[in-house]
Amino acid sequence: MVHAKKSLGQNFLNSKTVAKEIVRAGELSSVDTVLEIGPGKGFLTSELLASGAHVIAVEKDDRMIPLLSEKFADEIKNGKLTLLHGDILEKIEDGKIALPLRYKLVANIPYYLTGQIIRMFLEAELKPERMILMVQKEVATRIVARDKKESILSIAVKVYGSPHIIKKVPARYFTPAPKVDSAILSIENISAKSFQGPVSEKLFFDVVRAGFAHKRKVLAGNLKDLFGEKIISILEEVCVPTNARAEDLSLKNWLDITSMYQPQK
């Protein structure tokens, strides 16, 4: 019996109902290619394959490769499953995964890699058209910002796509059970269209990071180094209160402010 490795952040999903909901959220069919990160023992992989989609599964744990190779021998042979051994972050950075122009990312990811994985795929040149990820409930809540309090993470996700929570998943649906509950997070309509106009990707994130640099300070104070004394008139022009804090701003507010940037002389 193969036990979960704490060092790899492994918590194996044990609910078929939840696995089916993840696949349903992906709206998968036989024309889709799905990238799965960390298939583990192949519990979710089975449901992904049942959808008819072609699955590319990347597994870092060398103990799982023989298990998966045996369990899905037929699917590997007929080309429905491509099983790759290695670290997903390294494989993406080195361009060692042949992904089609259109693909979906569906996975129960190691929670300690959540930020890295979301950032890497949203910022990639070849982005997934949809991401369905099992993440910590607290992280999912912060990304969708239901309390209307935005964060760097929520704005960074929303500038590329539309996030929403599909379902909250109690810890008991995993083996071993994590200390916190989880949630299925969907990010749809992924694109870089926000950066096709006057706002560059780099400048946008420079502005957002500066805005959130000191949480207790009002936004105008945080952005003064970037925009100079003009920041007050810029906020007024884009209809942002001059006493607003970074967490109060919408994605549109950040894009509007960034579009007004002019290098200081």
Please check if 59 is assigned to a binding site. Answer: yes
Which of 142, 157, 191 is where one domain is finished?
A: 191
Same domain, yes or no: 154 and 30: yes
What mean pLDDT do residues 243-253 have? 96
87 is in an annotated binding site: yes
The verdict on whether residue 14 carries a ligand-binding annotation is no
Q: Range of 52's domain? A: 6-191
User: Total domain count for the chain?
Assistant: 2
CATH number of the domain that 235 lies in?
1.10.8.100
Same domain, 16 and 125: yes
32 annotated as ligand-binding: no
CATH number, domain containing residue 24: 3.40.50.150
Mutual angle of helices 251-259 and 201-211, in 10-degree steps = 110
Q: Is 243 annotated as a binding residue?
A: no
> Encoding tokens for residue 171?
């810890």
Shared domain check, 205 and 179: no
Q: Final residue of a domain: which of 172, 191, 210?
A: 191
Q: Are 139 and 110 in contact (CB under 8 A)?
A: no
pLDDT digits (tens, 9 = 90+) for 32-85: 999 999 998 899 999 999 999 999 999 988 888 999 999 999 999 999 999 999
Residue 150 belongs to a domain: yes
Is 111 found in the same domain as 31?
A: yes
pTM (predicted TM-score): 0.90
Question: Band of the pLDDT at 6, cuts 50, 70, 90?
Answer: low
As a whole-number percent, the residues of the chain with pLDDT over 70 amount to 95
Q: Average pLDDT, stretch 251-255?
A: 97
Within a domain: residue 43?
yes
In a domain, 264, yes or no: no
Q: 201 a known binding residue?
A: no
**Is 130 a member of any domain?**
yes
Whether 144 and 53 map to the same domain: the answer is: yes
Which of 66-70, 76-80, 86-90, 250-254 is the least confident region?
Answer: 86-90
* Partners of 163 in the β-ladder: 187
Q: Same domain, yes or no, for 212 and 185?
A: no
pLDDT at 176: 83
CA-to-CA distance for 68 and 224, rounded, in angstroms?
A: 55
pLDDT digits (tens, 9 = 90+) for 105-163: 999 988 888 999 999 999 999 999 999 999 999 999 999 998 889 999 999 999 999 99
Query: Which of 191, 212, 235 is the endpoint of a domain?
Result: 191
